[in-house]
Amino acid sequence: MTSGWSLIWENADRFAAGALLTVELTVLTMILAIPGGLVLAFLRLSRWRVVRFAATAFVELFRSTPLILQIYWVYYILPVFTEIRLPGLAVALTGLVCNISSYNSETFRAGIVSIRRGQWNAGLALGMTNAQVMLRIVLPQAAMRVLPALASTWVSLFKDTALVSVIHVNDLAYVALKIRTETFVILPVLNAMALFYWLMGYPQAKLVDWIHRRYKVAE
Amino acid sequence: MSSTGRVGADQPPILTFEDVTKRYGDLLALQGVSCQVNRGEVVCMIGPSGSGKSTLLRCANALETLEGGRITFDGADVHAAGGDARKVRQRMGMVFQNFELFPHLTVLRNVTIGPTTVLGLDRAAADARARALLAKVGLSDKAGQHPAALSGGQQQRVAIARALAMEPALMLFDEPTSALDPETIGEVLSVMKALADEGMTMVVVTHEMDFAKRVADWVVVFDQGRVIEQGPPRQIFEAATVQRTREFLSHLGWHGESIAEVAAGE
């Protein structure tokens, strides 16, 4: 019987691969969920009611149900209705992107509406189109304001990616839980999993704290 | 009311308001306002807060819609269906009470953003134009700063430069000194005075009576969404015919004499 820590050491490459996938999932999800959130935010600010309603329904669905359920949905239900069977990683990514886009859309929307009417008027008074005012005046300011909120979402996302282990995506959580099942070594494996998440998550949380301090709204 | 000798009376007016009505819910903000602005003229709009002056200004460049009446700029209906409000706004500079500089851009970029995005000027030409205007308002050394690093008076001078960068035919000033500390009001008024001396057509909503008296060619007095009196400053300030005008002026402590130091610059 190998001791706990030597077991971890023997499986270092698998843990490393899992950790890498966790980071990749987090980065890819955010890269897609930022434009996704922006599009949803624009749709929710649309002048057409039908568009607003559809976007709101989407956002509220994904904000008000558990992420683990959404991942199962994409995994089991999407193939039934669409005959699309995505590989596990794509399923995980789809679920995460829908979920995080919904959160991001609320963040962006709050940022956009927080820019006072006078800034719009100043841009329009120069002869700009609405799109130009949005792109050059409102969005850059809104982005600065919502950066802390986006950073917080990022850290939550990093930890929540562990949920994709339920559909056999080889992320850090899945690898750890699999090694546990293979070896029946429970505590050391869970401790190692906790340590690895913490080692990666703590610097991110600190960075977020710094972003919060650095980008406090100053008028 | 006589318009004999009014500045620019030999040409068609650049801006006209005909029976303009504006409503916010139950509040009738403008109740049939008519007046005009001639080319080369400085028109000051005065009156108590909430009397409709600022609303009229925002209607002039279609930042607000109308419930009734007509506003023409250079002969064309500003609010005409299918009309292009942007074309009108490009030729009307506007200066706001709260400056409304773009806080994420440097002073220089605040001034160039109009010409580059709206007029399609290239960066170099826009920069040259902006630097000349910043020199004109006395802020050449602030080009690389962000607005937050400037005083209120400096910010408002940048805002004036930003509006001038579009080379407008007409400048609208919406209470340009109301949000300023007393010690910086003068620097803004003197920039405006210099602009007036160059012959810029200006509409100025203001509570600075001394400025109105010394710089305006024409004064329009508002009360409760109506024009109650208009005429040359001498008539308004020294021989107002309407009781309400005299009440308003005396309420401000105006009794015909010069009030404060209006840094008119000369």
**Which residues of chain A neighbour B73 with C-beta distances below 8 Å?**
none
- Whether A127 and chain B come into contact, CB under 8 Å, resolves to yes
> Which of B104, B82, B101, B252 minimizes the C-alpha distance to B165?
B101
Print burial letters for A114-139: b (CB count within 10 Å at least 16), e (below 16).
ebeeebbbbbbbbbbeeebbbebbbb
Minimum distance, in Å, between the CA of residue B118 and any CA atom of chain A: 6
CA dist., res. A165 & res. A174, Å (int): 5
Query: pTM here?
Result: 0.85
Q: What is the pLDDT at residue B196? A: 96
CA dist., res. A128 & res. B253, Å (int): 41
CA dist., res. B56 & res. B64, Å (int): 9
Task: Please answer whether residues B38 and B14 qualify as being in contact, where contact means their C-beta atoms are separated by less than 8 angstroms.
Answer: yes
Q: What is the mean pLDDT of residues B210-223?
A: 95
- Whether A117 and chain B come into contact, CB under 8 Å, resolves to no
> Which of A30, A36, A43, A42 minimizes the C-alpha distance to A154?
A30
Across the A:B interface, residue pairs with CB atoms under 8 Å apart total 61
| DSSP bridge pairs for A14 | none
Q: Any alpha helices (H) in chain A, and if so which ranges?
A: 4-10, 12-44, 49-63, 67-72, 78-82, 88-114, 117-125, 130-132, 139-160, 172-183, 187-214
Domains of chain A (ranges; CATH) run: 5-215 (1.10.3720.10)
CA dist., res. A173 & res. A66, Å (int): 18
**Which residues of chain A neighbour B93 with C-beta distances below 8 Å?**
125
CA dist., res. B178 & res. B156, Å (int): 11
Per-residue pLDDT reduced to its tens digit, B85-109:
899 999 999 999 999 999 999 999 9
Per-residue pLDDT reduced to its tens digit, B111-156:
999 999 999 999 999 999 999 999 999 999 999 999 999 999 999 9
Q: How confident is the model at residue A168 (pLDDT cuts 50, 70, 90)?
A: confident
Q: Which residue of B has its CA nearest to A142?
A: B104
